Amino acid sequence: MSVKNYQRFYQPLNAVHSADFNRCIYCGCEAARQDFIPPIKFIHDWQDGHLQADFISVPACNECTDLLKNENNATLEPRITVLKKRLAEKYKKAIRVFNHWSMEEIEEMDAAFQISLKGGMRLGKETLSRLQFAGFDYEVNGSITRVVKPQREVFKVFDEEFSSFREALAFASATYKIKKSRLSQLYFDNDESFDRAIEAFHGLVEGNP
């Protein structure tokens, strides 16, 4: 049976609001293809009905579709989770550039470094926006699902609060005189806490880890 014949088993997922038409359900970029859940190549694993499967087709961009092509997920939510992890891993260097550098610092470098770092900044910023995309309200076969917008994430540095990791890192680095790269590593090594990271750094400096 051809791929087109298999497509009849899937119900299309459609955005409820016009602003979300032609948007990728995973990252918010412009949709270019349909991603089938479960993937058509794995349809025989799920067709007997004993295991839960959505059997929906969702709008997706080319990159998200490619990143998920070998992922045998049969429902939307775990597929979103896997996509976010793969996207973060693919662009982790660009995300690091965006979080660790400021435009002022980049402007002080020679032209070759500026071009490279500015490109990384743009890509890192775009990737973070895609990772933070929460989806949109959608309809499948007459049933509407409302997507709950996530609560605004807050990054704390002792009594100070910031809306992004980048802002918190810049503040903590400047205030406590710790290189961004070192502080970032300590942050992830200490339960994603700036307070603990700063305390750990001072403990190491003082010889009391």
Tell me the per-residue pLDDT of 21-52, one tens digit each, with 9 for 90 and over: 999 999 999 999 999 999 999 998 887 766 78
Is residue 67 within 8 A of residue 85, CB to CB? The reply is no
Is residue 89 within 8 A of residue 81, CB to CB? The reply is no
Q: How far apart are CA 30 and CA 80, in angstroms?
A: 16
Question: Residue 76 carries which side chain, given as an amino acid letter?
Answer: L
- H/E stretch holding 103 reads helix 103-107
| Mean pLDDT, rounded, for 73-86 | 96
- Give residue for tokens 């609001």: 17
- H/E stretch holding 11 reads strand 11-15
Q: HSE of 124 in the Cβ direction (CA atoms, 13 Å)?
A: 19
| Mean pLDDT, rounded, for 94-102 | 91
Share above pLDDT 90 across residues of the chain, in percent, rounded to a whole number: 74
Question: Residue 125 carries which side chain, given as an amino acid letter?
Answer: K
Quote the pTM value. 0.83
Q: What is the mean pLDDT of the chain?
A: 91
By the 10 Å C-beta count (0-12 exposed, 13-18 middle, 19+ buried), 56 is classed as buried
Q: How far apart are CA 105 and CA 169, in angstroms?
A: 15
In this prediction, residue 209 carries a pLDDT of 47
| Mean pLDDT, rounded, for 141-161 | 90
